[in-house]
Structures are given as structure tokens and as C-alpha cells.
Amino acid sequence: LKLPLSLPLSLSLLLTLSLTAQTLTTSNLPIVVINTFGATIPDEPKITASMKIVDNGAGQINHINGPFNAYDGQIGIELRGSSSQGYEKKPYSIETRDANGEDLSVPLLGMPEESDWAFIAPLNDKTLMRDVIMHAYARAALPWSPRTRYCEVVINGDYKGVYALIET
């Protein structure tokens, strides 16, 4: 069996592209930048970190180095979930905090004030939409269901991908 010359080259290029880290410079989604100051994010307890969000509004381009106009403050962060912690794309639980490390309720990305939030990693959902759509349907039929908002997440300078920020 002789493979066409272009097939091994194509496979090599595909593998190279899939193993190369992605960088983020701009997005039409809000950009969330988290800095843990070198600490590894544990399962428990939450560690102190900083979170900054660039959100210029619907239809506007957000730049990774743009003004942090949607949030710029402290958070507590830990891994979220059980079996999902073993996935390559980790889910996170955060709480917004004041300068003293106490819970601080703030509105994030157009959602009402709250201090507890989650970044859902839609790794097994290639459409990135199942959780978000189900919550939208639930909000239409039930008195309360969590609101969600897509965003790009960068942790310690490493682009993690598209997440859904969700009320907990």
C-alpha cells in the first residue's frame, strides 16, 4: 500500500496544528484574564487570584490588552465538578472578593449581582451550546434558572478557550 505524498504531509500538518497552543489577541466575546500568581488551582480550598474582564459590549471587538472595563479585582478560584476535573479543559468555581478577601457581590457580563460564579468548560460538547441552550429553555419555563454568558478565558497567560460563565 502506497500512500499519496500529500496524505502524510497533511497528517503531519494536522498533528502539528492540534498540538500547538493557541494564542488569543482579540475576540467578539468578553475576555477573562485570571492570574493565580504562580499557584496551581486546587480542587479545594479556593485560592486567591486576580480576575480582569474586557467587555466592550455586543458587536464590539475585545482586545486582550484592552481596558479591563467589566471587572478588575480579587477572586477565590478552585476546580469545579467531579469527573470533569479529569478532563483536559477544566471547569472552575469562583467567588468575587473585596480587598479583605470577603465575598463581594458584583454584576458580571450583564448578569445580576452575585459573588459565586462558575466557568463551565463545554469540552464534551463540540457545539459549545448544550448547557447554555438548556438554561435558556429552562428560564423560559421556570421561575428561575441560571443565566449564562460565553467568554474567552486566559489563566496565567495560557489561553484556555471558550467557556460559559454561569450563575451558581
Instruction: Give yes or no for residue 48 having a pLDDT over 90.
Output: yes
In the prediction, which pLDDT does 141 show? 86
Instruction: Give yes or no for residue 137 having a pLDDT over 50.
Output: yes
Mean pLDDT of 58-79: 96
CA 61/CA 84 separation, integer angstroms: 31
Length of the chain: 168
Q: How confident is the model at residue 87 (pLDDT cuts 50, 70, 90)?
A: low
8 A C-beta contact, residue 80 and residue 42: no
CA 111/CA 122 separation, integer angstroms: 20
DSSP H helix total and E strand total for the chain: 2, 9
Question: How much is the pTM?
Answer: 0.81
Lowest mean pLDDT among 17-26, 98-107, 142-151: 17-26
Instruction: Give yes or no for residue 83 having a pLDDT over 70.
Output: no
Site of grid cell 494564542:
23
- Residue 114 DSSP symbol: B
CA 30/CA 19 separation, integer angstroms: 25
CA 77/CA 39 separation, integer angstroms: 11
The more confidently predicted of residues 23 and 2 is: 23
In the prediction, which pLDDT does 122 show? 75
Average pLDDT, the chain: 84
